[in-house]
Structure 1
Amino acid sequence: MKRFCTSGPVDKKTCYYVERPELMEEALDHIENWRYFTVSAPRQTGKTTFLNEIVEKTKDKYLPIFISFESYMNKDEKDFLDTLVKDINRSYKKIYNEEKLIEEIPGNIDDIRNKLEKLYKTKNKEIILMIDEFEKFNNEELMNQFLHVIRTMYHSKEIYGLRSVILISVGYLSGVLEDNASPFNIAEHMEVPYFTKEQVYDLLNQHEKETGQIFEEKVKELIWHNAGGQPGLTNALAYDLVVKKAKNEKIIAEKHFEKTLYDFLKKYINKNIENVISKAKSEKELIMQILFEPDKIEFDISDERIKYLYLNGVIDECNGYCCVKVPLYYKKLYNHFKPQINGEKNYMATIKDTIRPYIKEDGSIDINKLMKRYIEYIKQRGAKMFKGRNYYEGVYQYNLDQFLSLYVEAVDGKVYPETEVGGGRIDLLINLNNIEYLIEVKANITGNEYEKAKKQLIEYLKRKGLKEGWLIIYSDTIEDFEYITEEKEGIKIHVWLIKTNFESPSKAV
């Protein structure tokens, strides 16, 4: 029986596998046209699996050699050439189950082309050289020599039989591409994208057909939404559901997914997620702005900080701005970088405070009444909480999130930050007794931004089929707290203006 593959290249014989016909067609077209090209994608997006598939599709007509520079690091010339030949021979044995392809180790870097020319004439097959983890080769002098050799062969590729060279990396190989001595300055570049929604459903359907175990439609949607199509995460979520949370059950339900999501957010150490957090730490200030001040940081790949986070799969481009496109990444980063204010719960809800006064007879929650209690808390703690803090530090949104969660979770409700709503994301979504409440959070905005925020909230509410929503605006210019209601297109907007400009803590009572 096949399984959801959570690590390493996917073996089609033992793992569920998603075809990428358009991407494959593009790659094969490059090879047929003697193109040298680069392939990039963050880790666990399936690029190695994709390249293995290229090997399978070309091995009869051509001679594909697929090696990795992962362990090459700072090798000197002798070690480099020795390891290169051993890796080429291993690749040949794996693909064709035959022994040594190259008998002699090249005498120097330039001698590589002589060995490849001899190989072409001996096997009578044009060569496709595929090098994974190319960026791991840190010996700049040797790398330049190696690329010069490839360039020499590129200009006489029919003589050497070097049909195509494919360099694969986690990030865009800008240094290689910018080098005028490199054949890759005229190369094509391909990115391995995340799964589409259709591909995610195809992956899950394969399991259903083979085992008879069914994913509820809502669970499929939740897997697609939370992993954002990221192949590694998609498989990891599905694997956890099948093997742990719903093992031996006929139907994988939403209750199972909630347990899986909790474990990924709170318990599991997932190497893919940990890598994203590690990369985000190095650009903490920027990632805080992207997390807590969306639609503010324009996406510009010429900014080295943005390029670094993008190439490592942390951020992406959303309508011209930087964003964290994978919701599960966002939630983990949100939890990791949130302000350390957990002690505030003792002020948010005292021993006298319960959820009971805020629950209506029909079981719905009175958000406006709860906001009044929130303002009481802010009046007491605002000077301590907000003085000298920036919105992008997350203090406002997380403070409201923590307050609402403290009350809502007391009656088994949930508060979800940054939840997708019909193609957009609402800052906070409350779900209680299967009733949803949408809350958009802004800070220190202009009049134009205020109008835009209301329109945005109305659009989200329309998509959800809701008739009211809440806009919480933190401001350091208003004199006092204020509550406003507006109605448009049959939808009511509750606007709460929260004062953040207080006396310093030393003067506050």
Structure 2
Amino acid sequence: MRKFSSYGAVDRELHYYVPRQELINGAIQELKGDNPNKGGHYITVWAPRQTGKTWIMREVFLTLAQEKDFDVVILSLQFLSEVTDSNRVAQLIAQELTKNLNLEKLSIERLEDFHRLFERGTLTKPLILILDEFDALDQTVIAGLVAVFRHIYNTRQNQVHKSTAEKSYLLHSIALIGVRAVLGIENLRGSPFNTQRSVPIPNLTCDEVTELFKSYQQESGQSIEPEVVQRLWAEFQGQPGLTCWFGELLTETYNQNLEQPILHPYFEGIYAKALNLLPNNNILNIISKAKQPPYKPFILELFQTKKKVNFLYDDPIINFLYMNGVVDIEEVGTSEIYVKFPCPYIQKRLFNYFARELYQEMDGLYGPFEDLSDTITDHNINIRQLLVRYEQYLQANREMILKEAPRRKNDLRVYEAVFHFHFYLYLVSFLRNYEAQIYPEFPTGNGQIDLLIRYAGQLFGLELKSFADQRSYRKALEQAAKYAQELSVTEIWLVLFIESVDEKNRELFETDYFENARGVTVHPLFVQTGKG
């Protein structure tokens, strides 16, 4: 029986996989060219890590290798990642190509001589070259190799009346596989590759994820509740590496009995481990990128709830985070494009990381003999009173809480997310001894943060917002009512963070909102973050 695999290229005989034939065919077409006799395209194949780039291009290689009109070579350059001498890299790549193509020994000692490897006479027929892990190379090395490929590309383009086999250079086409540097972003000279013809690798669709787990059920005989697959899709949004990693956890690591169906409660237990306990290289890489000084302020700002952030490809910070799978694109209608987190799981991991980087769980939130019955009993939580306690704690300890808090450079104000992080860990700490479960949810990937509390068989939903103006307030009430309906609860709390609010406005805007169509009551409550 096959298994799920989340590391390295997939083996069709050993692992469950999605065929993705349309992507493979598209890459083949690009490399062969619209008119193969004229030449193929110099393309990039890019996507964040663990999205299946290597496997797809290996399938492309296996198909093209059957063509008699071309030589086809695929090389991984990961082994050259620590080599910073461009001449040495050119020499080693030349050695690998010479060996793969059974060429007569050709001495390539310098980068300046690298082009000779692709001359007609050295090569006997057009070459399709696939270079994996290209962005693992040193930036100086990348710039040098790109300059050589640009020279070859331009020379071939100028020989318009010659067939691909008659041109001075027989490098018919090339695919550079990687994340960011492949596109020439760090290279001031640009790139020879037509990035309009690049091959981005998208996430798996919902149907593809469904088919993936359908294959497992057919081979193993173990059924999976449809709700489990839908939830898996919702949490990971088809990110191939994470989807297959969770498939491993679900069907192998923690799967003790193949005769029992995989049900939703089992999923929730494994998901909690994946969220809080288990390491994953993909997530560790994303966190390592997000916490770097140039990018951390942007990520903190992205957690704010006042407005969405416009996606601008030319913004170097957004571009870097997008290329590395830290953020993604949200398209609204035909003209609105915003930044969002790629999936709820990644957003939760980043939220937890930054929350605990700033604050640890808190002690001394109430005295050992203090009567808490106004806030919590064995059967219920009074959310309003819980928020009163939090605001009092925030006001009493504000200087200490905000002492090390990150601030925006433009106005030195504390990031909105700081209060969300602190409030979350306050709830975790306050309810620790009551065995309540508190976890963040991000229904949209941007602009909405919810904290859910499960206690005494009840679900309490808290939607967090910053109070901006009355129009936004009314929209927030409607949004909260809609979310309550999705949670199948009849009441929800809209927690409004604001720097200052007087008693008159507190009384005016803390009026319960009842939406008759949904049968939902929204309880708006302020938390004052400025000095009282």
Q: Which moved more, 1:290-299 or 1:305-314?
A: 290-299
Q: Is 1:355–1:410's contact at 8 Å kept on the other side of the alignment?
A: no
2:467–2:498: 8 Å Cα contact kept in structure 1? Answer: yes
Answering whether residue 365 of structure 2 is matched by residue 347 of structure 1, we say yes
Residues 60 and 424 of structure 1: CA distance in aligned 2, closer, same or farther (over 3 Å): farther
Q: What is the rounded CA distance, in whole Å, between the counterparts of 1:243 and 1:355 in structure 2?
A: 45
Match of 1:461 among 454, 473, 484: 484
Amino acid at match of 2:150: L
Q: Residue in 2 aligned with 1:14?
A: 14
The one-letter code of the counterpart of 1:11 is: D
Q: Deviations over 1:430-472 (max 9, x none)?
A: 3346643332212241222222222222232343444322111
Which residue of 26, 46, 66 corresponds with 2:74?
Answer: 66
CA distance in 1, matches of 2:416, 2:121: 59
> Conserved in 2, the CA contact under 8 Å of 1:178 and 1:185?
no
2:60 maps to 1:54: yes
Tell me the TM-score normalised to structure 1 length.
Answer: 0.85
CA 1:356–1:221 in 2, change beyond 3 Å: closer, same or farther?
Answer: farther
In structure 2, C-alpha distance between the alignment counterparts of 1:127 and 1:491, rounded to whole Å: 65
From 198, 201, 221, give the equivalent of 1:189: 198
Q: Closer, same or farther in 2 for the Cα pair 1:337/1:461, shift >3 Å?
A: same
Give the Cα–Cα distance (whole angstroms) in 2 for the partners of residues 431 and 419 of structure 1: 17
- Contact 1:228-1:325 within 8 A present in 2 as well: yes
Pick from 435, 439, 464: which aligns with 1:416?
A: 439
Give the structure 2 partner of residue 328 of structure 1: 345
Partners of 2:394 and 2:85 lie apart in 1 by 63
**Aligned position for 1:109:** 114
Partners of 1:476 and 1:242 lie apart in 2 by 48
In the alignment, the residues of structure 1 paired with residue 92 and residue 371 of structure 2 have an alpha-carbon distance, to the nearest angstrom, of 68
- Shift in Å at residue 382 of structure 1? 4.6
- Judge conservation of contact 2:206–2:233 (CA < 8 Å) in 1: yes
After TM superposition, give the deviation of residue 130 of structure 1 in Å.
Answer: 1.1
1:244 has 2:273 as partner: no
Give the structure 2 partner of residue 429 of structure 1: 452
More helix by share: 1
Which of 311, 327, 330 is the aligned partner of 1:318? 330
- Equivalent in the alignment of 2:530: 501
- Aligned-residue Cα RMSD (Å) equals 3.2
Q: Render the CA deviation track for 1:208-262: whole Å, top value 9, x for unaligned.
A: 1111123333332332233221111111111122222123343233444334333
Moved more, 456-465 or 331-340: 456-465
The TM-score normalised by the length of structure 2 is 0.81
Q: Is the 8 A contact 1:293 1:392 kept in 2?
A: no
**Letter of the aligned partner of 1:7 in structure 2?**
Y
Structure 1 residues without counterparts, runs of 5 or longer: 93-99, 504-509
1:145 aligns with 148
Equivalent residue number for residue 278 of structure 1: 288
Q: What are structure 2's unaligned runs of at least 5 residues?
A: 35-39, 332-336, 408-412
In structure 2, what residue type is equivalent to 1:265? L
Q: 1:491 to 1:4 in 2, by over 3 A?
A: same
Paired position in structure 1 for 2:176: 167
Aligned residues: 488
Partner of 1:344, secondary structure, is coil
Give 2:236's aligned residue: 227
TM-aligned CA distance change 1:445 to 1:59, over 3 Å = same
Q: CA deviation at 1:287?
A: 1.1
Mapped to 2, the partners of 1:43 and 1:438 lie a distance apart of: 34
Cα displacement (A) at 1:46: 0.5
Partner of 1:40: 46
Q: Greater CA deviation, 338-347 or 31-40?
A: 338-347
